[in-house]
Structure 1
Amino acid sequence: MAPGAGHSGIKQQIPLKIAMTAMKFTSTFSALFIATLVLLTSCDFERVGPYEDDDRTYGLSNFDRLDMGSAFDITVQEGSNFSVEARGNRRDLDDLDIYTSNGTLHAKYRNHRNRRYDMRLTITMPTLRGVDFSGASRSEVSGFQGLREFDIKLTGASRAVFDVDANRTNIDLSGASDLDLKGASGILKGELSGASKLEAFDYPVDEAELDLSGASTARVRVVKRLDVTASGASSVRYRGAPELRSRLSGSSTVRQD
């Protein structure tokens, strides 16, 4: 081998490796650029456009339960006749599906979109047995008295204020949902998870049974008996002088307010 031949081969390989590395970098950069462009283009299709105010009235009746989500702003009130109204952007109203099934009024969008204007639903009904609100909905329910049993389910960071009277109230809160209760009940049974919150100092009950997990909190007013199971740094604060039974774990607490 001639002197320096080996070194010459190495010198020839170095620029080749640099070129290949540059090509790989350019290819990767191009792929990322194209992916970003596609994403931005997709976002363009999500543009909500200018707000066009509109309202719709739905001739629906004979329901005593509600099942709604999609970040709706919901107002429910007691009245002798049924009434269902929606107000929002015209394009969103065109995509809104409101119907009844087995005594339940459902409201949802037909198509998934990341961006929408606020949708306000106003519902009047003679009686109410239960609600299932989800998807970061905001709701206010009032005027219902003398209910035998009332079910409340909130999921997906939903927020609600309820003013009702019932013999028995069943609550299921999850996904960082918040419930503010006013009125009164004989028995309150509640399950809270995922950093959910129950505010019920203005909702006196005779008996309460609570099961909390995932750093959830409850504030209740109880007269006779309070049964608490709590885990995952959850907390219960109560007013009144009930007989207390508690099973606590994971730094959870129960304390009289």
Structure 2
Amino acid sequence: MRRTLIALATLSILAGCAVIVVPDGDGGVHYKSAFSSDAVQGNGQNATETRQVATLDAIDVNGPMQVEIRVGQGTSLQVEGDSNILPLLRTDASTGTLRVWVDGNVRTSHPLRVTYTTPTLHQVDANGSGAMNISGLSGGPLSLALNGSRAVRVNGYVSNLDVRMNGSGGLNASGLDSSAIAARVSGSGRLTLGRVNGDQLNLELNGSGGANASGSVRNMTVRTNGSGSADLASLTSQTAELNTNGSGSISAAVTQSVVAAANGSGSVTVYGNPSQRNVSGKRVSFVQ
């Protein structure tokens, strides 16, 4: 009985604690509670450093920081924040990817900011929170792996956009043009995929997330599992496969051929008058 009471008391205490996941700099993480006493407090003295960096087309960001990635001439890396925190803002390029992370537990007075300029960019991995802005993209493929609550904005042009999002973050690519998109969301994340004109759009939503896009493609494949919503009425496709499972919704514009299935309480709305139709479920409708 005594052990049971101790266990319940321990669980009650832990239930009221926030647990912070901190990258350890070696690819892993360690955990701290909100009561950790070893956090480094920012001294309030803002400082800027310019660091040497190789020209790399991939970046991996871990931790709460604001990140600016500019695709342009030359290569440079600048970091900004409390002067006593900057030594803990680690950067490493030895693996062929620019890795940026916070070494330890910190409480900043000035936000940490990272600005990276590179001639080419093809891969971005981002974990944690804070704003990220990617600008100047001018061709080639781009792959985004986003985990956490980070808000990401992307501008420019890419041939192929691949997005994998987990968590509650957001991607605003309203200023992006692409020829093909493959995107997958798990959680409550929101995607604004911008303008896609070319081959195809492949989209999968798992959870309560949402996505929208505009433009014109030859084929689209869309699947929702859960309560997510795909608003693609501004994206016209010649052929489409649309499938919703749960309470989610899909709206899309189709001109020639469509396969549509609504399983559960969700709905599929097709804008247009495709001559070839394969429909299952009561909540599939056509709007001309």
| Conserved 8 A contact 2:40-2:105 | no
Amino acid at match of 1:175: G
Q: Which runs of 5+ in 1 are unaligned?
A: 1-27, 33-40
Q: 1:226 to 1:123 in 2, by over 3 A?
A: same
Q: Return structure 1 stretches of 4+ with deviation > 6 angstroms.
A: none
Match of 1:240 in 2: 235
Q: Per-residue displacement from partner, 1:72-109 (whole Å, max 9, x unpaired)?
A: 10011122211000010012101111010332101111
Alignment pair present for 1:213 and 2:209? no
Q: Which runs of 5+ in 2 are unaligned?
A: 1-8, 14-33, 254-288
Task: Quote how far apart the aligned CAs of 1:65 are.
Answer: 0.3
For 1:56, what is the secondary structure of its paired residue? Answer: strand
Q: Distance in 2 between matches of 1:139 and 1:49?
A: 22
Q: 1:86 to 1:47 in 2, by over 3 A?
A: closer
For 2:148, what is the secondary structure of its paired residue? Answer: coil
Counterpart selection for 1:226 from 220, 239, 250: 220
For 1:193, what is the secondary structure of its paired residue? Answer: strand
Q: Distance in 2 between matches of 1:76 and 1:152?
A: 13
Match of 1:95 in 2: 88
Alignment pair present for 1:159 and 2:159? no
Q: Distance in 1 between matches of 2:40 and 2:122?
A: 38
Q: Distance in 2 between matches of 1:165 and 1:47?
A: 41
Normalized against structure 1, the TM-score is what? 0.79
For 2:128, what is the secondary structure of its paired residue? Answer: coil
Match of 1:116 in 2: 108
Aligned length: 220
Q: 1:42 to 1:183 in 2, by over 3 A?
A: closer
For 2:104, what is the secondary structure of its paired residue? Answer: coil
| Conserved 8 A contact 1:208-1:222 | no
Q: Distance in 1 between matches of 2:57 and 2:143?
A: 11
Q: Per-residue displacement from partner, 1:98-122 (whole Å, max 9, x unpaired)?
A: 0103321011112133x23410111
| Conserved 8 A contact 1:62-1:103 | no
Match of 1:7 in 2: none
Q: Distance in 2 between matches of 1:47 and 1:130?
A: 31
Q: 1:42 to 1:187 in 2, by over 3 A?
A: closer
Q: Percent identity?
A: 20
Task: Quote how far apart the aligned CAs of 1:160 are.
Answer: 0.4
Q: Per-residue displacement from partner, 1:121-179 (whole Å, max 9, x unpaired)?
A: 111110101101111131001012022x1101111111100013111110011111100
Counterpart selection for 2:62 from 52, 58, 69: 69
Task: Quote how far apart the aligned CAs of 1:220 are.
Answer: 1.0
Instruction: Output aligned runs, 1:50-61, within 5 Å.
Output: 50-61=43-54
| Conserved 8 A contact 2:89-2:101 | yes
Q: Per-residue displacement from partner, 1:4-55 (whole Å, max 9, x unpaired)?
A: xxxxxxxxxxxxxxxxxxxxxxxx9xxx9xxxxxxxx956654625411111
Instruction: Output aligned runs, 1:35-46, within 5 Å.
Output: 45-46=38-39
Query: Higher strand share goes to which structure?
Result: 2
Query: More relative contact order in 1 or in 2 (CA 8 Å, sep 6+)?
Result: 1
Match of 2:161 in 1: 169
Task: Quote how far apart the aligned CAs of 1:62 are.
Answer: 2.4
For 2:92, what is the secondary structure of its paired residue? Answer: strand
Query: Higher helix share goes to which structure?
Result: 1
Instruction: Output aligned runs, 1:177-196, within 5 Å.
Output: 177-181=169-173, 182-196=175-189
Amino acid at match of 1:252: G
Q: Distance in 2 between matches of 1:165 and 1:71?
A: 27
Alignment pair present for 1:127 and 2:120? yes
Match of 1:8 in 2: none
| Conserved 8 A contact 2:134-2:155 | yes
Normalized against structure 2, the TM-score is what? 0.71
Amino acid at match of 1:244: A
